Amino acid sequence: MRLVFFGTPDFAIPSLRALLEEGFDVAAVVTQPDRPHGRSRSVLHPPPVKQEAAAEGLPVLQPDQPNAPEFLEMLRPLAADLGIVVAYGHILKPALLALPHRGMINVHASLLPALRGAAPIQHAVMQGLEETGITIMQMEAGMDTGPVLHRVPTPIATDETGGELEVRLAELGALALIEALTLLDAEAIVPQPQDPRLATYAPKITTETAQIRWETPAPALARLVRALDPRPGAWTALGDRRIKLFGPRYAGCPPAGTAAGTILEVDPALVVATGDGALQFLDVQPEGKARLAAADWLRGRGARVGDRFS
């Protein structure tokens, strides 16, 4: 089976490696263009999948507009049987989806139709779900609406961060992909349409999504902080400084009448009042600086008891 692989971040790398280890013919890897990083924005950095593909000697294509007719003409001579899409980062239109003669399949990090959209891992943690998983689906024009080919569930630990869950799902996605391709090759899969009445959504994480709103009860706020650890990080403000917080732990109830966001303790830990309960935070990341232990930040007089995050 001749494949074209579409993917960009680290999440896609286990799937690409699995295809190569299992001997699939990957004709080309399609990823996003190199992007500037860092404060100067002067140096271009390749996507992780590009680096992996180059190390394996695979042809790499980096179109700005993957749905453009000229890119379709570049792909056509590859004569791919199937396209594999894993966190590519573009919406693919019908003309591109139909180019491989068996269409394209997607590795999606939820149990569809739950959590359709760009950020299913983070939203699974934010919502306090006990289970998520991987869905292999046949792609169509709608966002994550195509027929399901294969599902593999996994539980979510109560203290699991979005980053930890992402690593597990990347490996589980690679396993599920190989299983699905094996079943497809044996004609042992009957595609199952999704029930749109059961659909939920996981939109892209924005700066607004990531803002800590201290009036939120402690359990929900802790889930937000865990979901966005390590990236992009849940943030708050202390005066004119933005600070990201990590490692939430329940810390009991603040004194009656304490305003949400008030710092209750700085020694030996950072404890903050929420809308219902208090949370301790193990790590902080001041804007423009590296992540560090909250205790070290507090020793540097980063905050005082009675200060209030907003």
Strand, helix or coil at 60? strand
Q: Are residues 80 and 118 in the same domain?
A: yes
> Judging by beta carbons within 10 Å of its beta carbon (0-12, 13-18, 19+), is residue 146 exposed, middle or buried?
buried
Answer whether residue 159 is part of any domain. Answer: yes
CATH number at residue 282: 3.10.25.10
Answer whether residue 307 is part of any domain. Answer: no
The CB density around residue 187, as the number of other CB atoms within 10 Å, is 7
Domain span at 255? 207-299
Tokens 């540097």 -> residue? 300
Position 40 scores a pLDDT of: 66
Last residue of a domain, one of 198, 232, 267: 198
Contact 223, 191 (CB under 8 A): no
Position 171 scores a pLDDT of: 98
Last residue of a domain, one of 170, 198, 226: 198
Q: Are residues 162 and 255 in the same domain?
A: no
Q: How far apart are the C-alpha atoms of 67 and 92, rounded to whole Å?
A: 6
Q: Are residues 177 and 218 in the same domain?
A: no
Position 162 scores a pLDDT of: 98
Q: Are residues 250 and 190 in the same domain?
A: no
Q: What is the per-residue DSSP string for 94-153?
A: HHHHTSSTT-EEEEESS-TTTTBSS-HHHHHHHTT-SEEEEEEEE--SSTT-SPEEEEEE
Last residue of a domain, one of 198, 220, 255: 198
Q: Are residues 142 and 243 in the same domain?
A: no
Q: Are residues 177 and 267 in the same domain?
A: no
The CB density around residue 171, as the number of other CB atoms within 10 Å, is 15
pTM: 0.96
- Beta-carbon contacts of 147 under 8 Å, excluding residues fewer than 6 positions away, are 137, 138, 140, 191, 192, 193, 194
Nearest to 136 by CA among 125, 123, 147: 147
Answer whether residue 305 is part of any domain. Answer: no
To the nearest 10 degrees (0 to 180), the angle between helices 13-21 and 162-185 is: 30
Q: Are residues 218 and 191 in the same domain?
A: no
Q: What is the pLDDT along the chain (310 residues), one digit of tens a residue?
A: 999 999 999 999 999 999 999 999 999 999 999 998 766 677 899 999 999 999 999 999 999 999 999 999 999 999 999 999 999 999 999 999 999 999 999 999 999 999 999 999 999 999 999 999 999 999 999 999 999 999 999 999 999 999 999 999 999 999 999 999 999 999 999 999 999 999 999 999 999 999 999 999 999 999 999 999 999 999 999 999 999 999 999 999 999 999 999 999 998 889 999 999 999 999 999 999 999 999 999 988 889 999 999 9
Answer whether residue 310 is part of any domain. Answer: no
Region for residue 216 given its phi and psi (left: phi exceeds 0; alpha: psi -120 to 50; beta: otherwise): beta
Position 276 scores a pLDDT of: 97
CATH number at residue 104: 3.40.50.170
Q: Are residues 127 and 91 in the same domain?
A: yes
Contact 221, 273 (CB under 8 A): no
Q: Are residues 47 and 162 in the same domain?
A: yes
Number of domains in the chain: 2
